[in-house]
Amino acid sequence: MASSPVHRTVLLHEAVNALVVDPAGRYVDGTFGRGGHSRELLKRLGPDGRLLALDRDPDAVAHARAGEGHIADARFCIVHAAFSSLDEVLASQGWSQVDGILLDLGVSSPQIDTPERGFSFRFDAPLDMRMDTTRGETAAEFLARADERTLAEVIAHHGEERFAVSIAKALVARRESGRPVRTTAELSDVVARAVKTREAGQDPATRTFQALRIFVNAELDELDAALEHTLTFLKPGGRLVVISFHSLEDRRVKTFVARHGKPSFDRRAPFAEAPPVLLQPIARLKPADDEVAANPRSRSAIARVAERTGEPLPPPSGIERRRRGAS
């Protein structure tokens, strides 16, 4: 029987050191993955501490509940949910305030290294790319229906790909010839033919695969929703730690912290009281050289740390939760 892909947790000690402010507190690991951060967090928590983990990937949840990855600890609970549902999950647990929230964004090594998940151009497999395999549209299904303009916009915006238009034209031309792209190898081949030049050492399909993965999983929308929830549920003095792996994510986190980290004034109402400062930037962390050498996938990681300030915000009502969930 083949062993499961190895996952090396990025910025393990740095993230946990920045997050834990009270060993008796309540913490959320919004992206359990294979549990590296959760296990380290449990080591730092005292007997009264509690850890709630979320993951939208059913394989990750199964890993936490059974088998070699099982966490048998009364202080720990895991829920199959996206972190955009943080408000609903915390409400279901009866938690109104937490001491820290950790979000480790991107794709885990088991997802990348399991061919049938369709995340990697290194394997020929069905083009799936869904993090939650129980719902939603696969990347192949999206490519089978999207028009050229939509494809170009997705690849340009989510992949920052300068050849997005050429790639979109090639994908549509192949589909119209009766051979729609259904596998990772087929997608890689189409992109390689459409992209004439590429940065040294980078596969031509890298940005297109990133773009489709982000789009299929609505990763940026999920991140925006989760960040807003942190303002409601972090208690004053609580910490937010977000680890991102590409500029689209990191810019969103940086902008979010900056927007809530300084007073903002409405020029149309110059004498109105400014809204309170809700976040204080604490640190920007990068992997050390030895971590990058041991795990090259960590080289692009950036962790931003912020501390909640001011007064707690009222939790959203049940009606507001249902409305957001239905949208």
Pairing of strands 98-104, 234-244: parallel
Kindly indicate the confidence band of residue 307, based on its pLDDT and cuts at 50, 70 and 90: very high
Specify the 3-state DSSP secondary structure of 206. Answer: helix
Q: Residue 260 pLDDT > 60, yes or no?
A: yes
CA triple 182-139-168, angle to 5 deg: 80
Q: Residue 138 pLDDT > 70, yes or no?
A: yes
pLDDT, position 319 = 34
May I ask the CATH class of domain 12-110+219-326? alpha beta
pLDDT, position 324 = 37
Q: What residues does each domain of the chain span?
A: 12-110+219-326, 134-216
Query: How many CA atoms lie within 13 Å of 76's alpha carbon, on the beta-carbon side?
Result: 22
Query: Reduced to 3 DSSP states, what percent helix, strand and coil does the chain have, rounded to the nearest 5?
Result: 45, 15, 40
Specify the 3-state DSSP secondary structure of 123. Answer: coil
The H-or-E segment that residue 307 falls in is strand 302-308
Please state, in angstroms and rounded to a whole number, the distance separating the CA atoms of residues 252 and 254. Answer: 6
pLDDT, position 320 = 43
285, amino acid identity = L
Kindly indicate the confidence band of residue 267, based on its pLDDT and cuts at 50, 70 and 90: low
Identical fold, 12-110+219-326 and 134-216: no
Kindly indicate the confidence band of residue 122, based on its pLDDT and cuts at 50, 70 and 90: confident
* DSSP state letter for 197: -
- pLDDT averaged over the chain? 90
CATH number of the structural domain 134-216? 1.10.150.170
Q: Do 181 and 175 contact (CB within 8 A), yes or no?
A: yes
pLDDT in tens, 77-105: 999 999 999 999 999 999 999 999 999 99
